[in-house]
Amino acid sequence: MRLYDSLSRGVHDVEPVEPGRVKIYACGPTVYRYVHLGNLRTFLLTDLIRRALEFEGLDVIEVQNITDVGHMTDESSPEALDKMLLAVEDEGLQPLEIAEKYTQEALEDMAAVGIRLPDVMPKATDHIPEMIELTQTLIDRGHAYVVDTGSVYFDVTSFPDYGKLSGNTLDKLKAGHRDLETDPAKRHPADFALWKAAGPGRLMKWPSPWGDGFPGWHIECSAMSMKYLGERFDIHTGGTDLRFPHHEDEIGQSEGAVGHEVVSTWVHGGFLQLTGQKIAKSTGNVIRAPELIERGLDPLAFRWLTFQTRYRSQMDFTWEAMETADQRVRQLRRHVAEWGDPAPVLGPAAEEADARFREALASDLDMPTVVRIVNDLDRSADVPPAEKRALLASWDHVLGLDLERDADAAWQPDEEVRRRVAERDAARAAKDYASSDRLRDELQGMGLEVMDTPDGTKVRPR
Ligand SMILES: [Zn+2]
């Protein structure tokens, strides 16, 4: 698998630090607001990288954080309002209740578009000690300083590589950098907070060696990525807007603390635009996954829509294109059902299509080509229907479009299967994971795929 690395500005092979196992860190949702389709496009990129690597037979460990503190200031407004405080006022809930509510909403929206849950979803507020420790390490190593108020800043002049990811090197920043942190005690305008002293009215604050306060936003991703994935890991993903300052600052922190490169490949996804404007809260142009469902569209078809554009390019969202994608996915499902049972072996034409599919995926996730390959196969007169069915069922592990849905709808579990499903749900409710795993293995042994859904165990023919 080859991916474009934003740092070296080139396409490279993914060569995991630990052979056979790829470690991925993805910047996750900020939970004082809903996630929108633009966020979901970025999260889908990570999901796709993971699925493609697993399709190649690699193990993947994926960590995606939940930002529930530290990125709560609206830096686009002159008053620098704390968004969490605004949400607390608007909704009459406590900060942790707000965070819990929007975390659940984010997980549901991610599941709706077929994003598989990461292996670990650490919350920033559960990792304050790790962030304090990392901040202390940076002070000890001469990369950070404490000011009178009790805030701690990263000293950008102590890190000669500052700017290597975004191109915002210090000579350029001196000229026209908008000062996001207004503290006059800062030594350089680009210095950024690792720890902020709690001002009056601050609801979320923690004790620290420098007094009560709260962590800066960037430090959480350094602390949590290295805690769960180690001091060297393979892929770090995020939206292109995170390259600066968030990921630039993360590089300074992580490499400043350990003294060597931490991330092998930086992958950044392009914006989703709506009528020419970036989909972001500040523009008021926010579409959420539930709105797709309300309009009678299958949210999984949003995946197919995103596949039409290379992931680094800006993508325009229109309802017309979304409806076309929805119709196409439904049509593919009908075709899969019509093609009958999957063939156990592939002929030469199907093997060739499979090789093309794998090559397109490996080529920095060339999904527009993948779409063409799927369409070609659908129309092909050279590949027998049973082989088309087998191929699309296999490819769907990456596409995630539930292409066998119509074919499965005709299938009904027998009495024995239904009994095991009920037993497994009871075992899971009782937290008897040994029995639950045994029953899953038994169901799989009967040739079934076993899925955990919010409504309990679901099975279908594999
Ligand atoms: Zn992050």
Q: What is the pLDDT of residues 34-54, one digit of tens each?
A: 999 999 999 999 999 999 999
Please state, in angstroms and rounded to a whole number, the distance separating the CA atoms of residues 379 and 362. 24
Angle at 206 between CA 205 and CA 210, to 5 degrees: 110
Task: Tell me, in angstroms, the distance from the centre of ligand 1 to residue 37's CA.
Answer: 18
Task: Tell me, in angstroms, the distance from the centre of ligand 1 to residue 335's CA.
Answer: 41
Q: Given the structure tokens 């559960």, which residue do they identify? A: 126
What does the pLDDT read at residue 70? 62
* Residue 181 φ/ψ, nearest 5 degrees: -105, 120
Task: Tell me, in angstroms, the distance from the centre of ligand 1 to residue 177's CA.
Answer: 21
Enter the DSSP assignment of 270: P
Task: Tell me, in angstroms, the distance from the centre of ligand 1 to residue 221's CA.
Answer: 5
From residue 148, give the alpha-carbon distance in Å to each of 158, 193, 196, 258, 388.
20, 14, 11, 27, 68
Produce one character per residue of 379-392: b if its CB has 16 or more CB atoms within 10 Å, e if not: ebeebbbbbbbbbb
Task: Tell me, in angstroms, the distance from the centre of ligand 1 to residue 460's CA.
Answer: 37
Cis upstream peptide for 207 (omega within 30°): no
The answer on pLDDT for 77 being more than 50 is no
3-state SS, residue 70: coil
Handedness of CA 155, 160, 166, 168 (dihedral sign): positive
The answer on pLDDT for 251 being more than 50 is yes
Task: Tell me, in angstroms, the distance from the centre of ligand 1 to residue 72's CA.
Answer: 13
From residue 402, give the alpha-carbon distance in Å to each of 169, 301, 449.
46, 10, 13
Nearest in space to 221 (alpha carbons), one of 195, 250, 192, 241: 250
Task: Tell me, in angstroms, the distance from the centre of ligand 1 to residue 239's CA.
Answer: 10
Please state, in angstroms and rounded to a whole number, the distance separating the CA atoms of residues 307 and 357. 13
Q: Cβ of 105: how many Cβ atoms within 10 Å?
A: 18
Rg (CA), the chain: 24
Task: Tell me, in angstroms, the distance from the centre of ligand 1 to residue 224's CA.
Answer: 9
Task: Tell me, in angstroms, the distance from the centre of ligand 1 to residue 439's CA.
Answer: 38
Count each helix (H run) and each strand (E run) in the chain, helices first. 16, 15
Please state, in angstroms and rounded to a whole number, the distance separating the CA atoms of residues 377 and 353. 7
The answer on pLDDT for 177 being more than 70 is no
Confidence band of 28 (pLDDT split at 50, 70, 90): very high
Nearest in space to 282 (alpha carbons), one of 101, 108, 83, 124: 83
Kindly report the average pLDDT of the chain as a whole number.
Answer: 91
Beta strands 315-317 and 272-274, pairing class: parallel
Task: Tell me, in angstroms, the distance from the centre of ligand 1 to residue 12's CA.
Answer: 23
Alpha carbon distance, N-terminus to C-terminus of the chain: 26
Task: Tell me, in angstroms, the distance from the centre of ligand 1 to residue 227's CA.
Answer: 14
Task: Tell me, in angstroms, the distance from the centre of ligand 1 to residue 120's CA.
Answer: 14
Nearest in space to 265 (alpha carbons), one of 66, 56, 61, 23: 23
Please state, in angstroms and rounded to a whole number, the distance separating the CA atoms of residues 427 and 420. 10
Task: Tell me, in angstroms, the distance from the centre of ligand 1 to residue 26's CA.
Answer: 7
From residue 107, give the alpha-carbon distance in Å to each of 30, 46, 103, 230.
12, 15, 6, 25
Beta bridge partners of 239: 269
Task: Tell me, in angstroms, the distance from the centre of ligand 1 to residue 428's CA.
Answer: 33
What count of residues does the chain have? Answer: 462
Confidence band of 274 (pLDDT split at 50, 70, 90): confident
Task: Tell me, in angstroms, the distance from the centre of ligand 1 to residue 222's CA.
Answer: 8
Task: Tell me, in angstroms, the distance from the centre of ligand 1 to residue 237's CA.
Answer: 9
Task: Tell me, in angstroms, the distance from the centre of ligand 1 to residue 28's CA.
Answer: 7
* Tokens matching residue 14: 């993914």
Task: Tell me, in angstroms, the distance from the centre of ligand 1 to residue 218's CA.
Answer: 6
Task: Tell me, in angstroms, the distance from the centre of ligand 1 to residue 384's CA.
Answer: 47
The answer on pLDDT for 280 being more than 60 is no
Distance of CA 109 to the CA centre of its chain: 12
Task: Tell me, in angstroms, the distance from the centre of ligand 1 to residue 23's CA.
Answer: 15
Task: Tell me, in angstroms, the distance from the centre of ligand 1 to residue 339's CA.
Answer: 44
* Tokens matching residue 334: 């009908």
Distance of CA 443 to the CA centre of its chain: 31
Task: Tell me, in angstroms, the distance from the centre of ligand 1 to residue 39's CA.
Answer: 13
Task: Tell me, in angstroms, the distance from the centre of ligand 1 to residue 77's CA.
Answer: 21
Query: Do residues 119 and 62 lie in contact, with contact meaning Cβ atoms separated by under 8 Å?
Result: yes
* Tokens matching residue 303: 């995946």
Task: Tell me, in angstroms, the distance from the centre of ligand 1 to residue 217's CA.
Answer: 8
Please state, in angstroms and rounded to a whole number, the distance separating the CA atoms of residues 346 and 388. 9
From residue 56, give the alpha-carbon distance in Å to each of 51, 52, 73, 134, 268.
9, 6, 41, 36, 22
Confidence band of 202 (pLDDT split at 50, 70, 90): confident
Who wins on pLDDT, 275 or 225? 225
Residues surrounding ion ligand 1 at CB below 5 Å: 27, 221
Task: Report the amino acid identity of residue 91.
Answer: E
Task: Tell me, in angstroms, the distance from the centre of ligand 1 to residue 440's CA.
Answer: 35
Least confident interval from 69-78, 169-178, 305-314, 356-365:
69-78
Beta strands 59-64 and 21-26, pairing class: parallel
What does the pLDDT read at residue 79? 45
